[in-house]
Amino acid sequence: MTDTNHPSRPDLPTLPIIENFSRRAAIKGGFATLGAAAFVAAISPLRHAAQNTSAGEFMQNHYTELTPEQKADVIARLEEEAKEKYGAEVTIGDDRPIPGTKFVYAINLSVCNGNGKCVEACHKENNHDRATNQSYIRVIEMPKGTMDMEQGSTTYTGAVPKDDKFYLPVQCQQCDEPPCVDVCPVKATWKEDDGIVVVDYNWCIGCRYCEAACPYHARRFNWKQPEVPAEEVNPDQSYLSNRIRPVGVVEKCTYCLHRTRRGKLPACLEACPTGARVFGNILDPESNIRWLLENKRVYILKEELGTKPAFFYYFD
């Protein structure tokens, strides 16, 4: 089915979009599309995840259909589950977009030195699995003179910065034309009014279509139950953001909406020792990010794909 708001592009996979976005309908559609054997293999992690799914979680409606009372019940259940599974007292908020706000990010590549403090901060702030050292940010060590990401390395070692390199942090670009949203067969991911692309982690079926569609490799799949020691759990959480995600779902950067929708800055920005990161509301004419975009020569990644990122890069 073609979305009239997003005309078909030859670079995107042709995948089914199911209008009745129930999980049962998705499974039925998946069998019809892939064939039984292929579909069973594709949802293998989901079958393992289902063993740990509570009755309350299974019966839960899509986030956008929950009433305030139902949301309160869901959040209370998730807080209790966090206490049982991780031994941590957490508070999960339902942070909504601030009217008149569109969040935009920019990075000054002239001063980013590849120290990786942003990666580390993301790991801790967003309650990532400790064993896999997961993060929503990759810092790519790039040869000077090119923006071709294929020539870079995310596993660089040694002292930084190196004279013949520059450093390119990449995370979710919060695209205005997000291919990851277009391909989700159950509409578990969507773009909110402040520009942030979110996932209902209790609605995601783990098919990983969105992960495959993202040209920036910005989505992560939870192959196993995340392990975070109780004393390291960030207790300040939000439903669509940094609560510990279940096994068998895809997750992503949300510009730390549990912070930014409360007037704070993203954790990765606060951790950056060089001041390379700039974040703010592009609709505010007095904001630093607005001034920067109006006065600097900025770049976006993979412009030719037409995804319209809300994430910019520049050099001084």
Each residue's pLDDT tens digit, 202-222: 999 999 999 999 999 999 999
Which CATH code fits 116-255?
3.30.70.20
Res 297: pLDDT:
95
Res 54: pLDDT:
72
Distances 57 to 87, 169, 213 between C-alpha atoms, Å = 20, 35, 27
What is the distance, to the nearest Å, from the Cα of residue 218 to the centroid of all Cα atoms in its chain?
7
- Going by pLDDT thresholds of 50, 70 and 90, the confidence category of residue 304 is very high
Whether 238 and 258 have beta carbons less than 8 Å apart is answered as yes
Please provide the average confidence, as pLDDT, over all residues in the chain.
88
Q: Is the confidence at residue 10, as pLDDT, over 80? A: no
Q: What is the pLDDT of residues 100-115, one digit of tens each?
A: 999 999 999 999 999 9
- 3-state DSSP of 55-94: HHHHHCCCHHHCCHHHHHHHHHHHHHHHHHHHCCCCEEEC
Burial 265-284 (b: 16+ CB within 10 A, else e): bbbbbbbbeeebbbbbbbee
Q: What is the pLDDT of residues 136-150, one digit of tens each?
A: 999 999 999 998 889
Q: Is the confidence at residue 40, as pLDDT, over 90? A: no
Indicate the residue type of 249: V
Rounded Cα–Cα distance for residues 103 and 121 (Å): 20
Contacts of 87 (CB under 8 A, 6+ apart): 230
Res 147: pLDDT:
86
DSSP single-letter state for residue 244: P
Res 26: pLDDT:
52
DSSP E strands, 94-146:
103-108, 138-143
Q: Is the confidence at residue 39, as pLDDT, over 90? A: no
Rounded Cα–Cα distance for residues 85 and 151 (Å): 42
H or E segment and range at residue 213: helix 209-213
Would you list the domain boundaries of the chain? Answer: 116-255
Res 203: pLDDT:
95
Here the tokens at position 227 are 């392990």
C-alpha angle with apex 130: 126 to 133, nearest 5 degrees? 85
Q: Is the confidence at residue 24, as pLDDT, over 80? A: no
Pairing mode, if any, of strands 277-281 and 250-252? unpaired
Average pLDDT over residues 12-34: 45
- Going by pLDDT thresholds of 50, 70 and 90, the confidence category of residue 232 is very high
